[in-house]
Structure 1
Amino acid sequence: MQLMKNYRLTRFALSFSCLASVSAGPAMAQSTGDGEESQAYPRLIEQNVRSKLSLISEGDRRLGLGANGDAKSDEAGIDIKPEWVWQLSPHWRSKLLLQAFGATGQVDVSDEIGGTSTDGFFALREAWLDYNGLSDYPGESIRFGRERLKEDTGMWWDDDITLVRWIFDTSLLDTTVGVAQKLAELRTDNNELQDDEQDIGRIFANTRWQWRKGHYLGFLVTHGQGYGDQAEEYAARGLTPNDSFTDSLTWTAIQADRNYFDWHSHDAFQYFASVAAVNGTDTVVGEDPSAPSGFSDRERDVSGWAADLGARAQLLDTPRWVIGAHGAIASGGSGGGEPGDSDAFQQTSLESNRSSFTGTRSQVHRFGEAIQPEWSNLKVFTFYTALSDRDAWDANLLYHRYWLSDEMGTVRSDLVEPGFTGASDDLGQSVDLVLGYYGDSASTSWAAFDVRLRGGVFMPGDAYGDDADSSRHRVVVDLSKRF
């Protein structure tokens, strides 16, 4: 295991060294070229540094139920992201995005990097090449490298991953198809992937068709194929992981919307609808008296489904004032066709659940800032209202009500430990306030900054029992500047 860790760290260091050479190459070519043509390519077409100072306050993650005391914090963090984009030739383009993060203590960075607590790291976020000489369509290209793979909802893909994908983007049709795999986190604090994310090859595709002006139909598919032996290793060591291991799982979704994620829209009424399913097999580890370690791994069938329906009405156009509501459900439990099978919906593990679904520029967590649950074994009703001028500022107020689909099951969260009693499906409720001011976007002044507040309060329900705290908060204030 130590040998593997050293190998991964060495690979991480070599990646940084190679990328440093790549970043130096175009600049050197520009400065040393003698002819007019060498001056034209390669050329740096975008270069900036995004900096962010954050103040983060969180209530007890154990909701007062932990045996080791409270798990709450008040910390500060600083985040710096340098970015370069080069035009290498008429058809070749490249991007490099790095990150340096530091905090006064352990904080959660789930708004950007998949819910891991840290006090600092250096990271490679993106490094890719793009070739658009496949045809005469300006929106067609093939891209390979490490990229932030994201779709509008954030509930399927919003993660940094190594991939090769074909992109076709026109005014009526937006399509991508590719293969991907997480090779490492590429971070100095924790380079290794979590065990349940290792050794999974992925195939993905997404298409969105504008069948009528402002109205879209979409289809999304993701397949994950596991090829590792993590489950066997856990069983041999007599350990039971909290998660299952992907064997062969396929996610499909059909979506329809009317400009729902376009925060510049002037539509008086907008809608969003998504129906999804996951099918296949995964591997779990459980007790087995006949095994030498007392545990063994076994394959189980998975068949889950989920739906999310939302509508929004615009009451005023300038400033834009909207009200909206969503109803989301994800199946849960183990009531499959055979004993031990699962009919619980599970997400792709590439999601962030964060998007601009309130009709403003702000990226808001779909299921609540103070709890941030995964979309599994969950029923959620959401009501929101938002006010904005579309470009410079916005204000979002949201209310969420939660239930368990299966009261004997659980819900995973990066911020709140489960602690369910199994006596009720009442998970609780939460209120979020998200404010944004974007002074840096339209100004080159050194005095212009972006300011964002994301605050939430979660109030646990009967599923946590009578001894749980009455509320838990999470408040993040960001002050950002692009240089």
Structure 2
Amino acid sequence: MWVSIADFPNRKRVRLGWRDALRRRDRAACGRCASAVAACRCRPELSFSRSDREGGGRVRRLAAVAATTFGLVLSAAAAHGQRSEPALAVRNVRVDPIGGGRRVTITLTRAPEGVRGSRLEDPLRLEIDVDGPQAEAGGETRFPVADEVVSGIRAAPRAGGLSVVLDLKRDPGASDIRAEGVVVIADLGEAYVSRASFRVGLEGKRLKITGRWVEQRLEASRVEHKHSRKDPRIGRVDGPIAAVGPEPRTFLVGPLVVEWTASTQFVGLTPEALVPGAPVEAAGRLSAPAHLVAGTIEKAKPGRGEILGAVTAEERRSDGSIALTILGVEVIVPAGVPTRGSDLAKRLDEKRPDKQETLSIFGRPLTIGGELQVLTEYRRNFDLDDATRKDKVELDDHIELEGLYFLTPRVLLFAQGKFTYAPAIRLDTGARDTPEAKEVERREHWLFAGDVLQNVLGRGYSLQIGRQKFQEVREWWWDKNLDALRVYYDRPEMHTELGVGQELAPDSTLTRFITPDEEDVFRLLANAAWAWRERQRLDFFYLYHFDHSGQRSIGQILRPDREDPSDARLLWLGARASGEVDSGALGDLFYGLDGAWVGGDETVFGFDSCADSDTPCPASKRDQTHERLSSRRHHDVGGFAIDARTTLESPLRWRPAFTLGYAFGSGDSNARRGEDTAFRQTGLHRNNDRFLGVDRFHYYGELVRPELSNLHVVTASVGYRILHSSSLELLYHYYQQAVPAPFVRDTKLKADPNGRSGAIGHEWDMALGLEEWEHLEVELIGALFLAGSAFGRTRDHPDDFSGNLAQGVFLKLKWNF
């Protein structure tokens, strides 16, 4: 909460803690309590009617007085019974040059209830009033400093808290004061004015920082990225106990207060072993900034310092180091410690636990993890033909193993593989619908080196080589593993990456060759992101696709698994604007707008089955396992697409989120005249994202799952966050072809439209995601599709499927380790 104070000129602001806000609200409502009953928040006023004063209400007056006295006595007793809070005091102070100004960091013994500041003259000084439990009366404590702006710092107890005075040698200009956990920060001069230019891009990320405790902060030697969708109040701290107290059942690790309760589990030690210097690991949930209520407390290895949690504040300092606030604790990442690298091993659809198996190899950590998934998909009437029974159940069960190894703090190795068992069973015959159900897949294996050109061009340049994941948050552009070389360049507010790739080997044991649609395909990919304002972002995308696999000759006989339906040379250009807007009483509004253009040329090949009697094939190959290349057509490509969506997180009961979206991909109206104006996506896309729930799903429909080509898609949804980390979302989609055509590009439906009408149909989805557990995820999706007039009977389309239904139920269980 930010409130203005009149004492500060030039946009000075003070950040008040949540306790202070509550107390100010209560005082405004009912005034101060008597000192004898300080525990009460509101002293009731006594008023009597005229009839009471005239004598008719003496008994009622006595009863009111007695009730009030009895209530005050109970309040005083309750206050006396409460455990005493620790007194507010200063542990240490530090002055750092930031930009052209100064940052004064004041570490306290406990989180303050509020801070206020005022500048005084003769002599020039800045006085900071810190609210909290008053310490015993004592003298002034001085903290001498050697600085050109701040000559000294003084602290003394006062009624209701603590007074801290910064003695100044000269006027620093505009100033700002705020509290972050147990730390009060005073930014003097340009340290406040230019703060936005010091953003790092880690705020909101969930990090595990390994290092050593120095005074009241953690100095990092390694930074690892963790799953960011968890409750930001959940965290973990590791290190020696600095002190026992200040409250019963509490101790300090650095400046973080750790409290245990009757439900806290102790592993490898007992409460009696919690003494200063004992190494411990405590995991739990924040009850206030820098106050962790532990669910578990374990015996830890000596000499280790670690903290894991969400970043709530960030700043890049002038010396190149990064200051973060995690769990209310200050963390310093020196300039030589990279913050990027381990995040490349995390994918948007994965939720690895905070604590994974870690081994020490040659003195460096090797983290081992993975997942076990059981996915069952029931598909009913996907061919829209009610006269047939081609329903089937598809399974996708797999185990995935991965390892992340730090060769040095700047150089990482990552490897990942997957074994899959995925049969499909026809319910009408009980037979398998797929001949091959077992597969070993080559996933990711890469080497990452951070700040590779530090001595030449400075910091920010990183390199990644090997099979790696190209993924962006909406998967509208890409979400695919590619053999590639990628270069990153990072600066405050800016991220750019450039990758070049081509498949070098088969990615699966299903084939001994690279699949024809990926063989000899060269790609150049680029993405640039700019955080141009707080909670506002612009992205730019580039993709060049060149298939140089060579031309096939007409009449060539091929097996179906060696057929390449097209060769293309295409270029995609696009941009995305996304962000969050505070809509006041309406809630928070999230928006996104994508636009893309594709152009180039394409050669499309046609094939005839050798099983047909009129197809000229050699007698030895006249069967279903061979096809003949019968045609080749060349045309230019030029199309565009847009995707706009907005989500309102309302303040209504149960906090429902309402989403509206519209997407359009241009249609194919001129292909026969040598030009195809239909937009097509990159072929690396998955169209997978989440709104404000925990579940990621296909936002163009879980059943139809179309590619955005020659199509209008209208989407509406309402979602609810339930329990702690779960959600329920109800979605509706309407599909209309831009130009009526006898096909829908890359859809799960097994029926083709008639090419006369563009009304594809309607879909309703329900997505339930349960992530209440550290290791287990549960996802249940139900989908229903109603076919439109595009599937009705025409002269060239004798089957009338209009109004028919297709259903799908998808259940996924995933265990992360």
What amino acid is aligned across from residue 658 of structure 2 in structure 1?
I
Of 400-409 and 235-244, the range deviating more from structure 2: 235-244
Do 2:571 and 2:600's aligned partners in 1 also have CA atoms closer than 8 Å?
A: yes
What amino acid is aligned across from residue 83 of structure 1 in structure 2?
E
- Aligned residue in 1 for 2:274: none
Do 1:440 and 1:481's aligned partners in 2 also have CA atoms closer than 8 Å?
A: no
Do 1:398 and 1:432's aligned partners in 2 also have CA atoms closer than 8 Å?
A: yes
- Aligned residue in 2 for 1:160: 481
Q: 1:220 deviation in Å?
A: 0.4
Residues 128 and 59 (structure 1), Cα distance of their counterparts in 2 relative to 1, 3 Å cut: same
- Aligned residue in 2 for 1:102: 421
What amino acid is aligned across from residue 102 of structure 1 in structure 2?
Y
Q: How many residues align?
A: 421
CA distance in structure 1 between the aligned counterparts of 2:391 and 2:492, rounded to whole angstroms: 47
CA distance in structure 1 between the aligned counterparts of 2:570 and 2:380, rounded to whole angstroms: 36
Q: 1:479 deviation in Å?
A: 1.5
- Aligned residue in 1 for 2:438: 120
- Aligned residue in 1 for 2:375: 54
Q: Is 2:449 aligned against 1:131?
A: yes
Q: 1:247 deviation in Å?
A: 2.7
- Aligned residue in 2 for 1:263: none
Give 3-state SS (helix, strand or coil) of 2:517's partner.
helix
CA distance in structure 2 between the aligned counterparts of 1:138 and 1:390, rounded to whole angstroms: 43
Residues 53 and 421 (structure 1), Cα distance of their counterparts in 2 relative to 1, 3 Å cut: same
Q: Is 2:723 aligned against 1:404?
A: no
Q: 1:120 deviation in Å?
A: 2.6
Residues 168 and 393 (structure 1), Cα distance of their counterparts in 2 relative to 1, 3 Å cut: farther
Larger radius of gyration: 2
- Could you report, residue by residue, the CA deviation over 1:319-369 in whole angstroms, capped at 9, with x for unpaired residues? 542101111010121426x8121001111111111112x222311102100
CA distance in structure 1 between the aligned counterparts of 2:540 and 2:678, rounded to whole angstroms: 21
- Could you report, residue by residue, the CA deviation over 1:229-274 in whole angstroms, capped at 9, with x for unpaired residues? 2x524664499999852331000111111159xxxxx971111111
Residues 301 and 366 (structure 1), Cα distance of their counterparts in 2 relative to 1, 3 Å cut: same
Indicate which of 441, 449, 455 corresponds to 2:782. Answer: 455
CA distance in structure 1 between the aligned counterparts of 2:731 and 2:546, rounded to whole angstroms: 37
Give 3-state SS (helix, strand or coil) of 2:650's partner.
strand
Do 2:591 and 2:645's aligned partners in 1 also have CA atoms closer than 8 Å?
A: yes
- Aligned residue in 1 for 2:197: none
Do 2:754 and 2:790's aligned partners in 1 also have CA atoms closer than 8 Å?
A: yes
Do 2:398 and 2:419's aligned partners in 1 also have CA atoms closer than 8 Å?
A: yes
- Aligned residue in 1 for 2:658: 323
Do 1:320 and 1:390's aligned partners in 2 also have CA atoms closer than 8 Å?
A: no
What amino acid is aligned across from residue 343 of structure 1 in structure 2?
T
CA distance in structure 2 between the aligned counterparts of 1:267 and 1:225, rounded to whole angstroms: 46
What amino acid is aligned across from residue 331 of structure 1 in structure 2?
S
Q: 1:138 deviation in Å?
A: 7.5
Q: 1:182 deviation in Å?
A: 3.1
What amino acid is aligned across from residue 662 of structure 2 in structure 1?
G
TM-score, structure 2 as length reference: 0.48
Q: Is 2:678 aligned against 1:344?
A: yes
Indicate which of 381, 385, 393 corresponds to 2:718. Answer: 385
- Aligned residue in 2 for 1:444: none
Indicate which of 28, 40, 44 corresponds to 2:363. Answer: 40
What amino acid is aligned across from residue 452 of structure 1 in structure 2?
E
- Aligned residue in 2 for 1:354: 688
CA distance in structure 1 between the aligned counterparts of 2:486 and 2:670, rounded to whole angstroms: 37
TM-score, structure 1 as length reference: 0.79
Q: Is 2:623 aligned against 1:304?
A: no
Q: 1:455 deviation in Å?
A: 2.0
Q: Is 2:792 aligned against 1:465?
A: yes
- RMSD (Å) for aligned C-alpha atoms: 3.3
Give 3-state SS (helix, strand or coil) of 1:463's partner.
helix
CA distance in structure 1 between the aligned counterparts of 2:597 and 2:537, rounded to whole angstroms: 20
Q: 1:129 deviation in Å?
A: 0.7
What amino acid is aligned across from residue 674 of structure 2 in structure 1?
G
Do 1:131 and 1:141's aligned partners in 2 also have CA atoms closer than 8 Å?
A: yes
Give 3-state SS (helix, strand or coil) of 2:451's partner.
coil
CA distance in structure 1 between the aligned counterparts of 2:412 and 2:475, rounded to whole angstroms: 26
Do 2:669 and 2:739's aligned partners in 1 also have CA atoms closer than 8 Å?
A: no
Greater RCO, 1 or 2 (C-alpha within 8 Å, sep 6+):
1
CA distance in structure 2 between the aligned counterparts of 1:375 and 1:194, rounded to whole angstroms: 24
What amino acid is aligned across from residue 759 of structure 2 in structure 1?
D
Give 3-state SS (helix, strand or coil) of 1:303's partner.
strand
Q: 1:123 deviation in Å?
A: 0.9
Residues 128 and 407 (structure 1), Cα distance of their counterparts in 2 relative to 1, 3 Å cut: same
What amino acid is aligned across from residue 282 of structure 1 in structure 2?
E
- Could you report, residue by residue, the CA deviation over 1:257-307 in whole angstroms, capped at 9, with x for unpaired residues? 1159xxxxx9711111111110011112369xxxx9894434311001111
Q: Is 2:481 aligned against 1:147?
A: no
- Aligned residue in 2 for 1:84: 403
Give 3-state SS (helix, strand or coil) of 1:155's partner.
coil
Do 2:727 and 2:769's aligned partners in 1 also have CA atoms closer than 8 Å?
A: yes
